[in-house]
Amino acid sequence: MAAMTIAKLAKKKLAGEKITSITAYDASFAKLFAECGVDFMLVGDSLGNVVQGQSSTLPVTLADIVYHTQAVRRGAPEAFVMADMPFMTYASPAQACDNAAELMRAGANMVKLEGGDWLLETIRCLVERSVPVCAHLGLLPQSVNVLGGYKIQGREQSAADNTLRQALALQEAGAQLLVLECVPVALGQRISEALTIPTIGIGAGPHTDGQILVMHDMFGLNSDYLPKFVKNFLADAGDLRGAVEMYVAQVKAGQFPGPEHSFE
């Protein structure tokens, strides 16, 4: 299979073909995901929760993400790999450029940042220096202490309008993908239709251009708590490969997420 690129992801949006993504943290699962046809992988700071056992993503360091990005790249040499920039590693444009360079050297094809208006200058700075950027709006796990918990974002009309405005501004600044997390179905659709760049949803309804799940969630490994937007594909498929193949097939067919995985 030919290597995935940002241009190919953009063409999928234009063609109405759904994009599939899963978080990955090591070589073995990266290899499996690549073999199953997942379009891209995210080395997420969610590793703080699911790998390190932290209560949030905040303790994750740049060195942690570098280490796991290197592992994922070894397991899937041809894959499109996105890496999260951890908490407070992009507080200024200069800091963001230095730290993004570390992630790109580790094997990332793109970096992901959480936030809206305050990131516009940083995104312009990164893109001008040849670092592709994925933006992230809606629920921002790194801002959990400011948000007061893990809550649905954009339910009020004014908040929805502001999220759309920020999405357009991030696109204008040079972001080439946008992750939308935990927003109502209608807002996910509205933003996806307004943007020319692909939107990747997690708890954002079925109308985004693609979907992403934390791998531990889609395998049902976080049995203490599974968010509403998660489906345990392993329970239905019976083995890991079958679970990934089922996830890819159901996203591409528009069968996942269903109404039971979405917020109105």
Does the annotation list 18 as a binding residue?
A: no
Question: Residues 102, 121, 128, 181: which is the catalytic one?
Answer: 181
Query: Radius of gyration over alpha carbons of the chain, in Å?
Result: 17
Does the annotation list 112 as a binding residue?
A: yes
Task: At 171, list the tokens.
Answer: 């696109």
61 Cβ contact list (under 8 Å, min separation 6): 86
Tally of CA atoms within 13 A in the half-sphere of 150 that contains its CB: 13
134 Cβ contact list (under 8 Å, min separation 6): 82, 110, 111, 112, 113, 175, 176, 177, 178, 179, 200
Does the annotation list 84 as a binding residue?
A: yes
Annotation says 181 is catalytic: yes
* Residue 215 contacts residue 23 (beta carbons within 8 Å): yes
Task: State the binding site for 3-methyl-2-oxobutanoate.
Answer: 45-46, 84, 112
Task: State the binding site for Mg(2+).
Answer: 45, 84, 114
Q: Which residues are the active-site residues?
A: 181
